[in-house]
Amino acid sequence: MLHSKSIFFVSIFLISLYLIISLFSCNKENPVVPIESCRDSARFNWTADTVWEIDITGDLWAPDTNNIFTIAQFDNFIIRRNNGTYSRIDFPDNEYLCKMVGDNINNGYLFGYISDGQYTKPAVWKWTGNGFANIPTNNVIKNVGIVAGLFVSPTEICAVCSMKPSLLFDGSNFTLYPLPDSILYQEIFFDAQHKLKILGVWVTSDIANYYILEFKNYQWEIIYKSPNTNLICRVFNDKVIGQGTDGIYLFDGQNFNRIIELCESFYVFYIAGTSFNDFMGALKPNNPICIFQHWNGIKWSTENLNAQGSEFGQLRMVNSNFFVSVQSYWGTYYSLFYIARRK
């Protein structure tokens, strides 16, 4: 039987797996013909920094190049990398860790939930410089797990839960804002017009329904809802994109239009960068190898890293460097961490 604290995140994990399998099955009949001239040589020097005894990595928070926090998603600890030195921060068994947000190392907040054996409630911890201090909050809702967050200021942090509600944290307490439909996996972000939005998905037996919601007049309104089994939808900075086996798609408010083509028919499972002219993509063929390529607005690069791992991991850009965590093969119970430094 699953431990109660893992139910929310096992669901998210299974949905991610479902979307990946669906993507491969929908595109395998029409692979893109390789374009040999679309790739440059490697633009980054890669370093395998360490190996962690973490089954599945959760969030990766990197406020600067000297402070990297990785959450052990199904465990109760965080690994912090500080100037090349690692430390492990453990939490009690009834505290579950989900998402870190903040604009710098002095404004780091960790979201999760606390279980009393019967119910769970959202929880928040503040990074103190050498540990995390729990901030007592009101018990605004029970039996939810926070899966996404957005830092605005220490007195305005947005969080969304694994099923319905969204929460606004004011530094002391939560205020609840219900969502108009059930959504399991969510990302919360400001778009280019600084409108607060949520990207979510609800998966039935044979279809993935994607939602975009906008926060208007202190309530959430669905502005887009459409089934889409050919793309995995994500948020890239302030835009909604679709990631497929043939390229990157940009959502224009009504449709997804391909703006960047891949050299091979690989699944793009996450990207990070400053713009569509400077980002790193983690690509995955149908085997346990992660292939990283950089896009500079003209060509992809062939990076010198083939990480033997699964598609579950995190990728962050800090200054001009990239930090990558990759879960290794199923059943090996360790994850890999890499640093890509621009040449």
Q: Which domains does the chain have, with CATH numbers?
A: 4-342 (2.130.10.10)
Residue 25 has a pLDDT of: 41
Q: Is 140 left (phi over 0), alpha (psi -120 to 50) or beta?
A: alpha
Question: Which of 294, 286, 285 lies closest to 324, judged by CA?
Answer: 294
58, two tokens: 């959760």
Residue 271 has a pLDDT of: 87
Residue 24 has a pLDDT of: 42
27's enclosing H/E stretch is helix 7-27
Vertex 156: Cα angle to 182 and 324 (nearest 5): 75
Residues of 215-254 as b/e, b for ≥16 C-beta within 10 angstroms? beeeebeeeeeeebbbbbbbbbeeebbbbbbbbbbbbeee
32 touches 265 (CB < 8 A): yes
Q: Which amino acid is at 319?
A: N
CA–CA separation, 116 and 328 (whole Å): 33
CA–CA separation, 129 and 64 (whole Å): 14
Q: For each of the chain's 343 residues, which pLDDT tens digit applies?
A: 334 444 444 444 444 544 444 444 444 333 333 445 678 889 999 888 766 666 666 788 999 989 999 888 767 889 898 988 888 899 998 888 888 999 999 999 998 888 888 888 888 899 998 899 988 887 777 777 777 889 999 899 998 877 667 888 888 888 889 888 767 667 899 999 999 999 988 766 667 778 899 999 999 999 988 766 678 888 999 999 988 878 899 998 888 899 998 877 777 778 899 999 999 988 776 655 677 889 999 899 988 665 555 556 788 888 888 888 876 655 566 677 888 899 9
201 touches 243 (CB < 8 A): no
Residue 47 has a pLDDT of: 85
CA–CA separation, 131 and 88 (whole Å): 10
Question: Which of 83, 51, 78, 90 lies closest to 67, judged by CA?
Answer: 83
39, two tokens: 């790739």
Query: What pTM was estimated for this model as a whole?
Result: 0.82
Unique residue bearing structure tokens 């606390």: 114
Calculate Rg over the CA atoms of the chain: 19
CA–CA separation, 162 and 122 (whole Å): 11
CA–CA separation, 168 and 177 (whole Å): 8
Unique residue bearing structure tokens 């390229």: 247
CA–CA separation, 68 and 81 (whole Å): 5
* The pairing of beta strand 219-227 with beta strand 208-216: antiparallel
Unique residue bearing structure tokens 């453990």: 90
